[in-house]
Amino acid sequence: MDTLRIENYKNFKRFELDNLGRVNLFVGRNNTGKSSVLEALSILAAEGDVAWLKVILEQRGMYFDNRKPRTGWDYRINEDIFSSFFHNYDLSAPITIAGFRRTEGSAADGTSTSGVRIRRVELADLIFKSNTGEELIRRVIKEKENQPETEEVATTGGVTVETPSTRQTYGFDVMGLIPVEKKSSSISFEYVRTSEFSGDRNPGLFDKIALSELEDELIKALHIIDRDIQAINFLKDESRVLTLKGDPRVPYVVLRNKSGKIRLSSMGDGINRILTIILSALNVKDGILLIDEFENGLHYTVQEELWRIIYKLSERLNFQVFATTHSNDCLRSFLKATSGVSDTRLIRLEKYSEGIRGVVYSDADELEYIASSNIETR
């Protein structure tokens, strides 16, 4: 996408970025919205899938009340949690996240669009009679439905999630966000979070590339830290089986001139961070890779080569990268690795009284100046 627009999402009232590139690095002070941009992009890619929205909330330490109906329960408990997605926790204005891509021969404005709109609605459970006289309950959006031959038995708050081709409706009732309509397909994306070194998804991501030529790309990336690595596989960890925490497999490697296998977690955070980032990159063909605080766990001496690998993979597999950093070392390594490349962008987010703005740097001379200066990234 060339342009991203965000409205009423978290700290963004109205926000737009134009002239995006294949690989985009965000810098800026705390609370300028760097991580919020990544979250918004993930919601756009997932087309507002409620399962992903719940994952985001859980990663913030916020959980829906999923217990069975009981005396005194109020659906607004869940509604209050969901309101954290909205600007100033105000559910009256809908969230809009849209991406635009310029294409030849498209609409008059020269763009093709993908987008998602999330808004609060009032839902009602209606009793009506079928053709056979049987009483049935149907959940509807009150503003959209007017059926005089029905009896309203309950109301609840909820949201609709709309894309250009679909609409999903969810209620804030006792099982959290219950889907009322079926969701459509979404764009491939992977989200590598700040503290994610040995991600729970890694075994499944590895399965998708095992014994393919992409497995060689993974080994090459691990060579950034240890060139003696010859092979990698995920094997069962009995302690994880006993504690029932996700997929029980963990990564092991074989090293040149050493017998047996070595658990990758014993080799430090850096190599495990690289594993997680590259496995994610290898699984987002034609999609989006999101990396929050790229530098976490990575010594500055390895970051430049990792950026080069990510850029080459983004070309080969046709995916777009959005990453954030607080590190000047990461910024400099990014600029060195992508020097002379026309489709990378440095984006600085700045907070003003009227909102947050993004400044996109793409000119080669600008980027060369930034690389040789001490631009403030925090």
Q: pLDDT, tens digit, for every residue of 283-314?
A: 999 999 999 999 999 999 999 999 999 999 99
- What is the pTM assigned to this prediction? 0.88
Residue with tokens 């990575």: 298
Tokens of 159: 């949201």
Residue 244 main-chain phi, psi, to 5 deg: 55, 40
Residue among 226, 361, 194, 157 nearest 294 (CA): 194
> Cα separations (Å) of 109 from 14, 102, 104, 106?
21, 9, 11, 8
Tokens of 300: 């500055």
Reported as a pLDDT band with limits 50, 70 and 90, residue 362 is confident
Tokens of 199: 């991600």
Q: Do the bridges between strand 344-352 and strand 23-28 make them parallel or antiparallel, or are there none, so unpaired?
A: parallel
Tokens of 20: 């995006």
Three-state DSSP class for 172?
strand
Q: Is the predicted pLDDT of residue 198 greater than 80, yes or no? A: no
Output DSSP code: residue 366.
H
More confident residue, 49 or 143: 49
Reported as a pLDDT band with limits 50, 70 and 90, residue 206 is very high
Reported as a pLDDT band with limits 50, 70 and 90, residue 108 is very low
Q: Are 193 and 294 in contact (CB under 8 A)?
A: no
> Cα separations (Å) of 345 from 103, 122, 280, 357?
20, 42, 21, 15
Res 254: pLDDT: 96
- Amino acid, single-letter form, for residue 91: L
Q: Are 292 and 37 in contact (CB under 8 A)?
A: no
Tokens of 316: 């080969």
Q: Are 124 and 154 in contact (CB under 8 A)?
A: yes
Res 140: pLDDT: 80
Residues 134-166: pLDDT tens digits?
A: 878 777 888 755 555 566 677 888 899 999 888
Res 67: pLDDT: 60
Residues 3-37: pLDDT tens digits?
A: 999 999 999 999 999 999 999 999 988 888 999 99
The lowest-confidence range among 125-134, 173-182, 320-329, 352-361 is 173-182
